[in-house]
Structure formats: C-alpha cells, structure tokens
Amino acid sequence: MRISFLALALLLAGCAPTIRQGAPMINQAEIPAQLMQSKAVILTQDHRLPEMWWQRFHDKELDQFIALALNNNPGLQEAEDRVQMAQAVLSESESLNLPHIDSQAQILRLKSSKLGNHDIYNGKTASVSNINPLTINYHLDIWHRDSEIIAASQDDVQKQLSQAQQSALLLSASVIKTYCALNTAKKMITVQQDVVQSVQNEWILRQNAYQAGIQSRSPQLKQHAAVLHEQEALAGLQKHAEALQFALLELLGKSANLNDKITTAPIHVPEHFALPQHIDFDLLAQRPDIQAALWNIKQWKHLEKVAQLSFYPNININALAGFNVIGLHQMLGSDAFQYAAGPAIDLPLFEGGALEARLHRNEAGYDLAVHTYNRTVLSAVRQIADALSALQYTQTQVDESNDTLTIRRDTMQIAQNAYATGIDGKFPYLESLIEMDHTKLHDMEENLAWLNDITDAATALGGGFGGTQS
C-alpha cells in the first residue's frame, strides 16, 4: 500500500511545469582607469572602506552626531522594524517543518431524522459529543516546498538587513554633509560680518569725503548699495545656518528648537581621499543596496520554485485521539474512546488558472528583481565614476582657491603697510581687505564642496556598511 501511494503521488507530480532560466544578471563592471590615477586619491591595499571612515575628519562632535543619528533617527528605526517583521515571518515559516498539534471539542444538540441511520436514535433528540484532546497534522515536505518557503523568508530577512544598512549609510552621509555645511556656514557668517564692517567703514569715509567736497556723491551711493548688499548676504547666511541646524536636529531624531544650539568643531580637511586599490565587481557587491538587490533575487527564485511546486500533490499525516458518543452520560467512558491515523493526499486539479497565474507572477517578480539589480549595479558604477571625477575637479578648484587666497592676503598686507606708512590712503586698504574676505568665503565654499565630494565617494563605495556578500 505504501509503495502504491508514493507511486501515485509521483505520477501526479509529473504534470507540474519546469523552472525556466529567467533574465540574465550583470556579472562584471569596470571603473575607468584614469579616474584611479588622479592626484586627489591615494590607493590603499584595503578591499573596502573601513567602518566609520568619517573619523578621518578627526572631529569628535561629528562622530557623536553620527552615533546619535544611528540610534535615534526615526527613518532608520523604521528600517529596523521591517527587519523584525521579516524575522517574525521567518519564525512563522519555520513552523512548517514541525507537526501541528491541536485540541478539539464539540457538543451538539441533534434532532435525528426518522429515516436516518442512527438506529435507536432515529426520530429522537440527543446530545452528541465529539472530543479530541489530541489532533496531529504533519505535512510531508517530500517536494521541499516548505523548505523553499523558509529559504525565501530567510532571504527576506537578509534583504531587510541590507536595506537597513543602506538606510544607515545614507543617513550617515546626510549627517556628515549637513554638519559640514553648518560648520562652514558659521565660519562664513564670521567672515561676512567682517565684510559688512569693512564696507560700512568705507561708506563712512566716502560720506566724509563727499561732505568735505573731495568726492562726488556717486561713490557714496554706490558704497551704500554695497553695504545693503553685504548685509543681505549676511542675513541669508544666518538664515541658511538656522535651516541647517533644524535639518541636523531632524537627522538626529530631535524636534526643531531655537534654544537647542548645535556646537561644531573645526574639521580636518584631508588633502587626499584614500580608497581601495582595486574597485572591481567584488567591491561593488559589498554595497548595501546591491546586497539587498542580490538577496531580493534569491528570494524571488525561491518564491518561483514555491509556485512551481504548488502543482505537486500535498501529502499529510493525520492522527487524532478522543471520544465520540451520543448522549452525555458516557462522554468520557472507555467505550466512547476513538482514534485514527493515516496519510492524506491533496492534488489541485482545477483552480481556475490560479496556480498558473501565481507562477507567472513569481516569474515576473524574479525578472523584476534581476532588472532592479542590473540597474543598481549600473547606477553604482556611475556614482563611483562621478564621485572620482568630482574629486579630481574639486581638488583643482581648492588648490586654485588657496593660491588666490594667498595672493589676496599678500595684496592686503601690502595695502595695509602702505596705509600705515602714509604712502597710500585708506580706501585701497579697505578694498583689498574686502576682496580678501570675499576670497575667504569662496575658499570656504570650495573646501565644503571637497568635503561633500569625499562623502559622495565614500557613500558610492558602500561607506563601510556592506555586509557579507550574497
């Protein structure tokens, strides 16, 4: 009997569809070699960026802010909640490997038909009790369908973990950029206040010159316009700094509060960005978003297999033990004891196309996962190439800005000495001082762009958040 039962199951399983190959995956990617030869980068023997790479800035305030954001940011907490949900689904799926044990009890007041087969109870009313303290159902996973469901749940947990790492990566990059921007804005406000003071001093001098009849009124009016312009620029910087503080507070998981002032420390601006010597496909695969895409492919492959195995017959082992009696006076007596055990087979013959539709849906889901992965890989290559190109360009801009600032300082020093010794008037000195401060502001903007490009490059390389390769 056992042999014939299994033979029937195998015969019925022969009608199930086969698994197709699916969409092809990208398995290689290259970064232009000339981008790796830029003087803006230093090549190391590391295979990936170190964790907490931002410590290269030597800013303890920044380190603390990133740690605080990783602990308190609601967006990251949402990602962690999704991980816990996936883990709960996995625990539920793993229960498929275990027998399900229930307890059942039912007592009915039954009026039997006079023409029924209840013997002496025909046409009478009686209480019918059916009590089964032990009911066992165990699914024989001979086709490994349950194993595929569990594997899909395991992959979903890994995918959610990778997506949480991606959220942490983007969050840390946002904190770094916002903190650096706030730090720069505060320094620019100080310099801009000096500019406002200098243009006001020049305006006063030109007013005096006009009143003394030395100059016409036109220079005075132009200088007044310059004062208004610089004051407007100062107000814009102050507003921008306040907005950056609110943005940083939000990233840290705090509400906007004017009384909650954020302190920033001077940032060490590295002259070069250290990155792994070889940026290959293995390094790309350590990015959290690519990890998530790979786990998503694996999950959909298992789900496609689950849909294919749904065409196979289900085989269960059922057993029960309990009591069945008409009338309540002997409900738990030995004569009322009953038990049953045996296999059961269930084969879907007609489901209205539901099984085929589910299979096609999961096949399309697998192809979608592959295409999403391919797009993510290509996007990663572009992001790395853009970041390295930006590093090369921005470093040149920083060098030129530093050289210009040096020239402006020398020019201002010459004008100051000329004014102090009486060789020249105060106007050339004030104008050279204003030009130097404007160059300082531009230099600060260039250094901020350099810090942002370093952050973008680190983010494009995974920022040290990547886990084990899928």
Residue 206 lies in a domain: yes
Tokens 């995956």 correspond to what residue? 25
Instruction: Establish if 102 belongs to a structural domain.
Output: yes
Q: What is the DSSP letter of 285?
A: T
Phi and psi at residue 383, to the nearest 5°: -60, -40
**Using CA atoms, how far apart are residues 61 and 261, in angstroms rounded to an integer?**
13
| 335 domain-assigned | yes
Q: Give the total number of structural domains in the chain.
A: 1
Whole-structure pTM value: 0.85
**Angle formed at CA 441 by CA 436 and CA 446, multiple of 5 degrees:** 120
- Can you read off the two tokens belonging to residue 169? 């990566």
| 249 located within any domain | yes
CA–CA separation, 453 and 459 (whole Å): 10
In a domain, 17, yes or no: yes
Residue 178 to residue 175: CA distance in whole angstroms: 5
pLDDT of residue 470: 47
DSSP result, 46-59: -SSPPTTGGGGG--
**Inside any domain, residue 96:** yes
**What is the DSSP-derived secondary structure letter of residue 342?**
E
DSSP readout, 57-103?
G--HHHHHHHHHHHHH-HHHHHHHHHHHHHHHHHHHHHGGGS-EEEE
Q: How far is CA 186 from CA 237, 246, 266, 440, 455, in A?
A: 8, 14, 11, 13, 20
Name the residue with tokens 């903190």: 179
d(CA 233, CA 253): 30
In a domain, 467, yes or no: no
Which pLDDT score, from 0 to 100, does residue 348 have?
84
Domain harbouring 212, CATH code? 1.20.1600.10
Q: Containing domain of residue 267, as a range?
A: 2-460
Please, are residues 127 and 330 in contact by the beta-carbon 8 Å criterion? no
Scanning the structure block, which residue is given the tokens 């057993």? 319
Residues in the chain: 470
CB 308 within 8 A of CB 145: no
Q: Is residue 470 part of a domain?
A: no
Check if the beta carbon of residue 253 is closer than 8 Å to that of residue 72: yes
Whole-angstrom distance, CA of residue 148 vs CA of residue 371: 22
Q: Which residue has the tokens 């312009």?
A: 229
CA 341 from centroid of its chain's CA atoms: 51
CB 13 within 8 A of CB 345: no
Q: What is residue 290's DSSP assignment?
A: H
Exposed/middle/buried for 392, CB within 10 Å: 0-12, 13-18, 19+?
middle
Task: Identify each DSSP E strand in 329-370 by its residue range.
Answer: 337-346
Contact 364, 300 (CB under 8 A): no
Element (H, E) at 181: helix 145-211
How many other CB atoms are there within 10 angstroms of residue 327's CB atom?
12
Local confidence pLDDT in tens for the 470 residues of the chain? 455 545 555 555 445 677 677 788 887 777 777 776 777 777 776 767 778 888 888 889 999 999 999 999 999 999 999 999 999 999 999 999 989 989 888 888 877 777 766 666 667 777 778 888 889 999 888 999 999 999 999 999 999 999 999 999 999 999 999 999 999 999 999 999 999 999 999 999 989 988 888 888 898 899 999 999 999 999 999 999 999 999 999 999 987 665 566 777 777 888 888 777 777 788 888 899 999 999 999 999 999 999 999 898 989 999 988 888 877 777 777 778 888 899 988 888 888 889 999 999 999 999 999 999 999 999 999 998 999 899 889 999 999 999 999 999 999 999 999 989 888 888 899 999 999 999 999 999 999 999 999 999 999 988 877 654 44
CA distance linking residue 420 with residue 407, whole number of Å: 20
Q: 451 near 183, Cβ under 8 Å?
A: no
